[in-house]
Chain A
Amino acid sequence: MPDAPLHLMGGRHRQTGRVTFPYPGDGPGAEFDPVALPTRGTVWSYTIQRFRPKTPPYAGPEAFEPWALAYVELPGAVIVEARLVGVDLDAIRIGMAVELTRVALDPAAQDPFWLPAFCPEAAQ
């Protein structure tokens, strides 16, 4: 795990205050300010990805194990899409409390590509 605490970077719309993820960037005509998102939330909805997505664009390992995908409501900010880890696939429930972590796209890679993920609060 990194030294600094993890957080996701969202964007707050300058006029409306609406928060979006990921941060849309500061290119020409940028309307969003970067904002660090809360690291704790609840599962808003979820599914289990049971087949290997097509490559491209999927860059995960050839050997496929099903993984959980969740929408997590971060209170006062936004609902974000991320992996759900550290929980049995049949134990996931809408409303369960989760916190931010990360997961390697390919756990066997030496220098893995990290994805945002959430895990049950007690599991970390």
Chain B
Amino acid sequence: MSAATNVCIIGIGIHPFGRTDGVSGLDQGAHAVRAALADAGVAWGDVQFAYGGSDAAGNPDTMVDRLGLTGMQFINVRNGCATGGSALFSAQMAIRSGEFELGLAVGFDKHPRGAFNALPSEYNLPEWYGAAGYMVTTQFFAAKIMRYMHLYGISRRMLGLVAQKAFANGVHAPHAWRREEVALDTILNAPMVSDPFTKYMFCSPGEGGVALVLASEKKARELGIRPIHLAAATMRTRPPASFEVFAPSIEIGGGINTATRLAAAAAFEKAGIGPGEIDLAQLQDTEAGAEIMHMAENGFCADGDQEQWIAEGRTAIGGALPVNTDGGCLACGEPIGASGLRQVYENVVQLRGLGAGRQVPGAPRTAYSHVYGAPGVSAVTILHT
């Protein structure tokens, strides 16, 4: 592949996550775009194309109203929890193919308070499944970690330590929603939401927007920008015999193969590096159990090794593989369309060495991001300096 078709991230922008009353999801996305353009030092008129994602906050392409009617190409992406990852995948393809030199991936959302209320018809499921009270994502995450803890001897204390780390990291991330530390005992002894998880172990649907300016390596050079390289961006759907959100049944012996394993393997192959060469990772932590299971599903450790990894602090900021350095979904909340791009935003901040209180020491050179969601989709990116 020629140097000209390599893809770089040259600008990043974010609207703080959490709750911003009076500001629409779309305007949070537009805010992020303006910030990303300013960061890259380019103008809206320089943007040749955009892929925009939102699950519940309107059609992303309508933001041209706010940003300027340049006639540019703007394609909307709606792909569940992989929406941001899919927007980024599509954007990098548009550059890699040689069609365009500079464009945007943008994602935003604004969800009502409380758990997501998905409807069975949206997931090809019978109406009774929803009437029974099974269209509840927390049930899946709880049942999945319950099985995992049973098989691999993971203790409930680990769930508490993961949440404690998330809130500790979030303190230092200006874009995070929860920015106060929470004591381990408080986390472990809080009211149960869906056993074995207490309320501090789940992320909440929220609001936010993220934009990334992408360019060909040649274009980045012309602009005089020191870019972050996008070595891989992959998105995969579920394999046979997986255990996914909203599953009325699972194949016997199933629950091992996942969309995440497929997306991770494809990303490592494309990037030409292995998990041991990654300096930091953002792993989908819809709840504290997901981070633990995703450490193994993404290839960073063997099933069951997490107990030791976490006890030794290997996933903390100063550890061998810092995970969710901005507090992840637990501290930032989950605006679906923006969530996957937030991870990439955070990775760029870290690779630029601008993480301040949450900066990974030792000038990290590679960074990994991973999202997972219903009905069994996953997206992965690998960045390097």
A105 interface neighbour in B126, B131, B143, Cβ under 8 Å: B131
B249 interface neighbour in A56, A76, A78, A94, Cβ under 8 Å: A78
- For A94, what are the chain B residues with a Cβ–Cβ distance below 8 Å? 146-147, 150
B192 within 8 A of A: yes
A14 within 8 A of B: no
The smallest C-beta distance from B241 to any residue of chain A, in angstroms, reads 9
The smallest C-beta distance from A115 to any residue of chain B, in angstroms, reads 5
Quick one: given A78-B249, A79-B254, are A51 and B193 in contact (CB under 8 Å)? yes
- For A79, what are the chain B residues with a Cβ–Cβ distance below 8 Å? 249-252, 254
Q: List 17 A-B contacts (CB under 8 A).
A: A18-B240, A21-B249, A45-B144, A47-B195, A49-B194, A53-B115, A54-B115, A56-B130, A58-B133, A60-B131, A71-B143, A71-B250, A78-B252, A79-B254, A80-B248, A94-B146, A115-B132
Q: From A69, which residue of chain B is reached at the shortest CB distance?
A: B139
Contact with B along A61-95 (1 / 0, CB 8 A): 00000010101010111111101000001000010
Of listed A21, A45, A76, A80, residue having the most chain B CB within 10 A: A45
A6 within 8 A of B: no
Quick one: given A79-B249, A80-B249, are A49 and B133 in contact (CB under 8 Å)? yes
Which residues in chain B, 99-126, are within 8 Å of chain A measured between CB atoms? 114-115, 117, 119-120, 126
Q: Is the CB of B131 within 8 A of A45?
A: no
Residues of chain B at the chain A interface (Cβ within 8 Å): 114-115, 117, 119-120, 126-128, 130-136, 138-139, 142-144, 146-147, 150, 191-196, 240, 247-252, 254
Q: Is the CB of A53 within 8 A of B135?
A: yes
Q: For the complex, what is the distance from the CA of A113 to the CA of B132, rounded to whole Å?
A: 9
Q: For the complex, what is the distance from the CA of A73 to the CA of B252, rounded to whole Å?
A: 7
Total number of A-B contacts with CB less than 8 angstroms?
108
Q: Is the CB of B150 within 8 A of A49?
A: no
B248 interface neighbour in A19, A22, A83, A113, Cβ under 8 Å: A22
A120 within 8 A of B: no
A60 interface neighbour in B119, B133, B139, B147, Cβ under 8 Å: B133
- For B150, what are the chain A residues with a Cβ–Cβ distance below 8 Å? 45, 94
Quick one: given A49-B136, A54-B114, are A77 and B191 in contact (CB under 8 Å)? no
State the interface size on chain A (CB cutoff 8 A). Answer: 38
> A49-B194, A80-B249 are known contacts; what are 10 more A-B pairs with Cβ within 8 Å?
A10-B249, A45-B143, A45-B146, A53-B135, A57-B119, A58-B132, A58-B133, A60-B132, A77-B252, A115-B128
B131 interface neighbour in A46, A59, A75, A80, Cβ under 8 Å: A59
Q: Is the CB of A50 within 8 A of B195?
A: yes
- For A18, what are the chain B residues with a Cβ–Cβ distance below 8 Å? 240, 251
- For B128, what are the chain A residues with a Cβ–Cβ distance below 8 Å? 113, 115
A48 within 8 A of B: yes
- For A75, what are the chain B residues with a Cβ–Cβ distance below 8 Å? 252
Q: Is the CB of A53 within 8 A of B136?
A: yes
- For A22, what are the chain B residues with a Cβ–Cβ distance below 8 Å? 126, 248-249
The smallest C-beta distance from B101 to any residue of chain A, in angstroms, reads 45
- For B132, what are the chain A residues with a Cβ–Cβ distance below 8 Å? 58-60, 83, 105, 115
